[in-house]
Every structure is written in C-alpha cells, then in structure tokens.
Amino acid sequence: MAAEHHPATPRSDGPGWEVDRPAEDEISEATRVFATAINIPLNDLLDTERDHPVNEPDRFLVVRDGGRIVGTTNSHPFSLTVPGGPRPAAGVTGVGVLPTHRRRGILTALLREQLADLRRRGENLAILWASEGGIYGRYGYGRAFRQHTYSVSRAHAALRPDAPRDPSLTLELAEPADVLPDLDLLHRAAQAERPGGFPREGNWWKLRLWMLSRPRPDTSDLRAVLVRDAGGHPVGSALHRVTTGYGEGGLPTGTVSVREVNALTPAARTALYEYLFDTDLTVETEVVGLPEDDPLPALLADPAQAVRRGGVSLWLRLVDVPAALAERTYAHPLDTVIEVADRHAPWNAGRWHLKTDGEHTRVEAATTAPDLSLDAAHLGSAYLGRGPVTTHVDAGTAVEHTPGAAARLDTALYTPRAPRCDTGF
Ligand SMILES: CC(=O)SCCNC(=O)CCNC(=O)[C@H](O)C(C)(C)COP(=O)(O)OP(=O)(O)OC[C@H]1O[C@@H](n2cnc3c(N)ncnc32)[C@H](O)[C@@H]1OP(=O)(O)O
C-alpha cells in the first residue's frame, strides 16, 4: 500500500486533485484502496470481482498522490425504473479515500468529475447506497427512500382470515441457482411495478446470490421457495435462510431471514408469508428490504405485534436536471418555474420552466420569476415521488415564492406505489 501521507492544509473544494481513469493493471490497486477505505477484507472484493465481473473498467475514476492511487469511485450502468418506465442511470459505488488522505477534497474532486462523466454518457440519474447519511447531500444526492425490515414473531404470525388463499397453488423449495429463470421472471415483474429498482442483467443475479449465500455461523444455505399456479407457472418467490439457535432448556430460538419476496398475485403473497412464518425450530421471521407501503402489515391479523425498523436508504441525484425532469411522467399536469442551486454540477444551476400534461413534458431554461427555489438534492429526494419538497420548505432549506407551489410539485411527482430497490451494488 504505502501511499505516503503528506499533511496539507485541509480543503474540500475539489480543485487541485487530478481525477483520472486507472490503467487496466491498476484496477486491483484501486480495489485495494476501496477495501482499505471501507474496512472490508480485500479477498471479499477480489472474489466478487473475479467470479462475477460486473465492473466496467472505464467507469472507474481515481485520484493519485505521488503516483499511488489514494481515492476511488466507480459506477455501474443500470436501467432504473422511474415513473414512466425504465431509464438509463448510474449506480455509484466503490467510493473510498485512504485514511491517510481524508478531508483534503479528494472525494469532492472524484464526485464532481464523475457527474461530468455520467452526463457525457447520457445517464441523467445517479443512485447510490450511502455508507453514512452525512456524506452525499452536499453533492446534490437526496435520500429518495428507505428500506424497511419487519420482524414477526411466530406467536403473532397469523394472517387475517380474509387474506386471499388459493388451494390450487403449490410450494416448491429449490436451490436458487436451479430456478434462476423463474426468480428472474418474478423479479422483473416486481421491478416494473414500482420505481427505484432495476432488473438484474448480466452477472447481477450471480453477485446477488453470492452476497446472500456468504457463510454465516449456524445458518442454513440460501433457499428459494417458489409458488406455482395450477398450470405450473411461477407466481411467487422468496429467498431466505434459517439461523439455528437453542436457548434455556434447549428450546429452539431460530430465525427465518427473508431477503426477497416477489408475488404476482395477492394469493401467492399469502402462500409465501404463511410458509415463511411457520418454520419449525424458529420463533421469528425477519423480512428485510420491504418498501414503505408493503402489504405485509395489511395481511397480519395483529399488525401491532410486528416490529418495523428502518433500514438502508437509496440516494438519488439528477445528473442533468432538465433532462431527468423531462424523462419521467407525472401524476398531474403542472406548469411551474423552479430555481435550482447546484454547486457541483453547474450546468443544472438556474431557472427551469417545467410544463407537463402528465405524459408529455418540456423543461426549458426560464427567465421569469421562480415559483420555488431549491437545491438539486431536494429534487433528488423528490424524484421517485415519496420525498416531499414541502418538507424542505417547512424546514426552511427550500423557499416557496408562489404559495402552494411546493405542494403542486409534490402532487405531480407523486407515485402511488412507494419505491423499492432490492439489489446491493
Ligand atoms: C456509494 C459508496 O461507495 S458509499 C462508501 C463511502 N465510503 C466510505 O464510507 C469509506 C470510508 N470513508 C472514506 O473513504 C472517506 O472519508 C470519504 C470518501 C467518505 C470522504 O472522502 P474525503 O476525501 O475525506 O472527502 P472530502 O475531503 O472531499 O470532503 C468533502 C466534504 O464532505 C465531508 N465529509 C467527508 N466524509 C464525511 C462523512 N463520513 N460524514 C460527514 N461528512 C463527511 C467533509 O467534511 C467535507 O465537508 P465540507 O465540504 O463541508 O468541507
């Protein structure tokens, strides 16, 4: 490793660091820098990359000091579901600066250059899973939504008597890799239904299964459970593992850990939950990665007994504000002028006239007085329809010049289904 630490006047405004692409034989060094920054074993990352090459080397960016790589960022091209359909988006990842070089502006330089690079690629949106919530807001990323985990004790796992049940459905337990086409079909259907996610093209399924299957003490292998209709077609799927434990008196204390539930019909969802909530030798089922409005609590006979915890958040950035606003659809017609502040993507800064009938949208530079002044990050959190701009107006960090302008924008941006993304990257 041995990049030297040159103490310098702290600065985080970016200029001064040259951002470059790593040569092909430097990719493993860049990977090592990221592993060091994020405190994970290098072997974990190398295994992932060797066996599941999702990386496109020309999307890596690095900063060097004295010829050695000291900071990295990377991104993957995704087809992100937004209101109106799938759109090209960058999944930003691999962000790391060596502990010896922090707080000297390296991240700022990397993310500024990355934004310009993504714009050149025509990716008008960028998303990321943040390691810490305090990092990305200053770069124009807004928290678009949060995942939720439900813990349901076996004692209170009964579903409502009127939950739809279809006796013609059958359950099948399988190795995930053996039923990949069925899992993929159900996953694609679920992605199309809600904004915020993307289908797993290329090696993304392999990577996902590898991540979920990593050995854990006292834990079963990853299992897939499929629901099939009378014709044998898959209509529901879940991925899960079971952790074994024995408490006082040798009584079982196991937990079912569910990582993905996809159902084409309400009856398939009922069948999945009734199966997952009633596993021998367990006392609890934990369902990870659910959207804010998941039907699970509406199915439970006693929803107050289920414990909901907030999980990780997905952050979103409009790389090109006018293009991104024009490429989604809207729940209501809107005619408004917004003034956008954007320190790190100056092409977005200024006034934009947004006019839409819901389906067709024009966004053009404006000279008239704005109805609303906000930061690019506020648009990032609002873009998928569940991060109201009115909240920022109430907080005093966005300014409404025309009464009701923020509420009208929120109404137009609203999406009836809350966003979900179930792939780590
Ligand atoms: C999408 C992903 O990959 S998430 C993974 C992110 N990586 C990590 O968490 C690994 C561990 N951390 C690191 O590698 C580094 O500390 C980084 C990448 C978070 C920051 O890199 P640095 O080069 O130190 O950031 P830089 O000097 O450009 O700081 C820019 C600004 O962000 C602030 N900042 C940096 N890190 C943090 C943090 N963790 N929390 C809050 N603020 C932060 C700085 O104070 C500075 O603020 P200012 O603009 O008001 O002066």
Give, for ligand 1, the residue of 6, 12, 39 to mutate: max count of ligand atoms closer than 8 Å to Cβ. 12
Q: Is the dihedral of CA 291, 295, 296, 300 positive or negative?
A: positive
Structure tokens at 314: 């997905």
Task: Tell the residue nearest (CA) to atom 33 of ligand 1.
Answer: 135
Distance in angstroms (rounded) separating the CA atoms of residues 199 and 87: 12
Yes or no: say if 242 and 275 are a contact pair by the CB < 8 Å rule: no
Task: Tell the residue nearest (CA) to atom 39 of ligand 1.
Answer: 135
Phi, psi at 337, each rounded to 5°: -115, 125
Task: Tell the residue nearest (CA) to atom 51 of ligand 1.
Answer: 12
Yes or no: say if 212 and 257 are a contact pair by the CB < 8 Å rule: no
Amino acid code (one letter) for 88 = P
Sheet with 223-228: list strands edge to edge: 19-20, 61-65, 68-82, 85-97, 125-129, 307-318, 142-153, 282-290, 254-263, 234-243, 223-228, 170-174
Structure tokens at 254: 């196991």
What confidence score (pLDDT) does residue 233 get?
98
Nearest ligand 1 atom, CA 128: 1
Instruction: Report, as residue numbers or ranges, the catalytic residues.
Output: 136, 425
Say how many Å lie between the CA of residue 395 and the centre of ligand 1: 24
Fold classified for 19-140: Aminopeptidase (3.40.630)
Yes or no: say if 153 and 284 are a contact pair by the CB < 8 Å rule: yes
CA distances from 179 to 11, 41, 242 (A): 52, 31, 19
Longest dimension (CA), the chain: 75
Say how many Å lie between the CA of residue 260 and the centre of ligand 1: 31
Sequence-ordered list of residues with C-beta below 8 angstroms from that of 37, at least 6 positions apart, any chain: 72, 95, 96, 97, 98, 99
What confidence score (pLDDT) does residue 57 get?
86
Nearest ligand 1 atom, CA 95: 3
Say how many Å lie between the CA of residue 12 and the centre of ligand 1: 9
Nearest ligand 1 atom, CA 13: 49
Torsion of CA 367, 373, 376, 378, to 10 degrees: -150
Tell me if residue 114 falls in helix, strand or coil.
helix
> How far is Cα of residue 331 from the mean position of the Cα atoms in its chain?
23
- pLDDT tens for the chain, 425 residues: list them: 444 444 333 344 445 899 999 998 899 899 999 999 999 988 878 777 766 778 888 999 999 999 999 999 999 999 999 999 999 999 999 999 999 999 999 999 999 999 999 999 999 999 999 999 999 999 999 999 999 999 999 999 999 999 999 999 999 999 999 999 999 999 999 999 999 999 999 999 999 999 999 999 999 999 999 999 999 999 999 999 999 999 999 999 999 999 999 999 999 999 999 999 999 999 999 999 999 999 999 999 999 999 999 999 999 999 999 999 999 999 999 999 999 999 999 999 999 999 999 999 999 999 999 999 999 999 999 999 999 999 999 999 999 999 999 999 999 999 999 999 999 99
Yes or no: say if 237 and 268 are a contact pair by the CB < 8 Å rule: no
Q: Which residues are annotated as a binding site?
A: 95-97, 103-108, 131-132
Yes or no: say if 279 and 285 are a contact pair by the CB < 8 Å rule: yes
Q: Where in the chain is the domain with CATH 3.40.630.30?
A: 19-140, 147-310
Q: Where in the chain is the domain with CATH 3.30.1050.10?
A: 320-413
Task: Tell the residue nearest (CA) to atom 42 of ligand 1.
Answer: 135
Task: Tell the residue nearest (CA) to atom 18 of ligand 1.
Answer: 96
Strands 372-375 and 361-365: unpaired
Q: Which residues are annotated as a binding site for acetyl-CoA?
A: 95-97, 103-108, 131-132
Say how many Å lie between the CA of residue 136 and the centre of ligand 1: 8
Residues with CB under 6 A from ligand 1: 12, 37-38, 92-97, 102-108, 128, 130-132, 134-135, 138
Give, for ligand 1, the residue of 115, 135, 316, 344 to mutate: max count of ligand atoms closer than 8 Å to Cβ. 135
Say how many Å lie between the CA of residue 106 and the centre of ligand 1: 9
Structure tokens at 389: 């701009």
Say how many Å lie between the CA of residue 374 and the centre of ligand 1: 23
Sheet with 350-356: list strands edge to edge: 361-365, 350-356, 334-341, 372-375, 399-400
What confidence score (pLDDT) does residue 54 get?
82
Give, for ligand 1, the residue of 33, 39, 97 to mutate: max count of ligand atoms closer than 8 Å to Cβ. 97
Task: Tell the residue nearest (CA) to atom 37 of ligand 1.
Answer: 135
Nearest ligand 1 atom, CA 130: 4
Quote ipTM for the complex. Answer: 0.97
Nearest ligand 1 atom, CA 136: 32
Task: Tell the residue nearest (CA) to atom 50 of ligand 1.
Answer: 12
Q: How many CB atoms lie within 10 A of CB 237?
A: 27
Nearest ligand 1 atom, CA 96: 14
What confidence score (pLDDT) does residue 155 get?
96
Distance in angstroms (rounded) separating the CA atoms of residues 20 and 70: 12
CATH class of residue range 320-413: alpha beta
Distance in angstroms (rounded) separating the CA atoms of residues 84 and 291: 19
Say how many Å lie between the CA of residue 135 and the centre of ligand 1: 5
Q: How many CB atoms lie within 10 A of CB 223?
A: 15
Per CATH, the homologous superfamily of domain 147-310 is Gcn5-related N-acetyltransferase (GNAT) (3.40.630.30)
Give, for ligand 1, the residue of 19, 32, 95 to mutate: max count of ligand atoms closer than 8 Å to Cβ. 95
Nearest partner of 336 among 314, 363, 375, 304, judged by Cα: 363
Q: State pTM to two decimals.
A: 0.94
